[in-house]
Structure 1
Amino acid sequence: MIKALAIILSLHFKLAYAQIICESSFLPEDFRFENNLADAQASRKIDYDKEIERLLSEDYTFSLKYNNLANGYVFRGSIDRIEDLPFEVSQFYRKDVKKVEMIRRFYDLDTKLQDSILSVYNTLNDKFYVKNYLKRLYAESYIYATEKNLVKDDGYIDGRAIVVTLIRRFKSRDDANFTKMIYPPKNGKHIITGKHNYDDLNPLNKNQAFRKAVATGPFIDGEFFGFVGHGAYSHMVQRDLVHESLKSVLGENTDDFYAYLGTTKGINFWVDLFDASSTNRISFSAPQDLTEVIRQSIIGPE
């Protein structure tokens, strides 16, 4: 009996330790701060509404930034039908999949997937929705930043606090199948689920690896850096941002949406929804726009 109990306790410790080690591997060295991802696992419940209310009344710098966050940006705006989605990536970068083909594929999908695509695009391009999302993201991240001495001048905060907040949110809704795209590949692998788990997903090439990351869960794009340019964490922000609108269409089956986007045909919708190009109007479908707004509004000058 004692031996069996010891085995169980040992197994529990190994699983918990393995989870922390696996999670801590997702942040590149420049973003690692006392195991941020392990920190995000903290069980302490925070009453964010109460904390934000307190900060708004007691912290003038926070209040000023919070109330004026992301003002002045002009967004693309919403659409009512798939024909109005720009499809700039498919149209100009994918020679065999033009806008006409994408529209045809759209109408071949079931109505819930159709509604999901339109809902996600509209969410990422709605300035009021995005503004309210960023205010909440900033506030929750600010609370963490104050605990870890990551608040900068004028109410700006270190990007590491944002990453922890995102991961806390994913964990709170059991959306924690994290992966990381790695460049250049290690041992021929482009995707990992932890420090050494190169073989678990086993895609044959970079494109397959990316589709696997899209279908699996939140992922870090290790080809890029922090919140600069495309950014390593832009797709995590997008996934968090669209969750509620996606849930309003699919209920608890939001994984079905990403499972489709991770297919060879679905990935073409991904690039126009989540990897679009920047234009003269802001779109959180474009990672470069997303990271630029976050840098200007929340992270500030380095």
Structure 2
Amino acid sequence: MTPPDTSAPHRTATLPDDADARRAVAPVICYPVETLPRPDLALYRAALATTQVTARVIAPARDAATFRVPAGSFFRISCQDGPQVGDLNLWNAADLTERFYSGKTRALHGTHVSTGDRLWSCFPHLRPMATIVQDTLDWYGIDAYGGSVHDVIGTRCDPYTGALLAGTHYHRCCHSNLTRALAAELGIPARQAEPMVHDVLNVFMCTGFTRDTGQYFMKASPVRPGDALTLFAEVDLLGALSACPGGDCSSEHSSDTALCHPLLIEVLTPGSDSLPGWQPPLRSAYDGSHGL
């Protein structure tokens, strides 16, 4: 009788004789991206060189702020005073049912995004909402722990998980920050705004999965004052950014003990005629019939 595999605390199944062979099966990429439409980064960068800052918004430490970006403009998220990560939500400003879809972005581009990657919208739209044009942290790559920057794997720190795991009722977590900011922007109650808040792009956050237990981890962000992530708005955007209460997320989040800093959002408007031939992306070509 083959003994049970006890390498993990909850595994009780009998180890099959061909376990090693089954583990050795080569993986297959779920979504090959060779046919994925590529952004014209040369066009975007040329347009970026003509921009002027037309709006500045501060996301205060342990709080969130909203901002709007017209299609064909850029927005830049910058670290100002010290290492700080941010949680980003995006909506189509003309139709809030179209919002950033972190899961499909992850499936298409990987667990972390950087220059040339796009932030995709939810079904039934499934189109690029924004394209990353510049990333001053794209030098980081993947470290020895499997960590990288700008993840689309974390959901956002929230009061519900805090209550579940620690019995706390903490209101300055990113989920609550985004909820308050969106409610104020739209002039609606927080309970009405909350269902619109969604899984985020964790800007500047350094994260990964442990190899032994597969758990989501965070570590000190490599972000420095002056570092920035610059994106091109493919559609009219309403955005919300929370300056996470974990600061650089080197030790904890959802607390008042970490050193936190504000984040700057700038809207950059390009010169006229700087985007020849560019058009906002079309919604998904799927007919929506679902076989009916």
Q: Which structure features the higher share of helix residues?
A: 1
Indicate whether the TM-score tops 0.5. no
Q: Which structure features the higher share of strand residues?
A: 2
Tell me the TM-score normalized by structure 2. Answer: 0.30
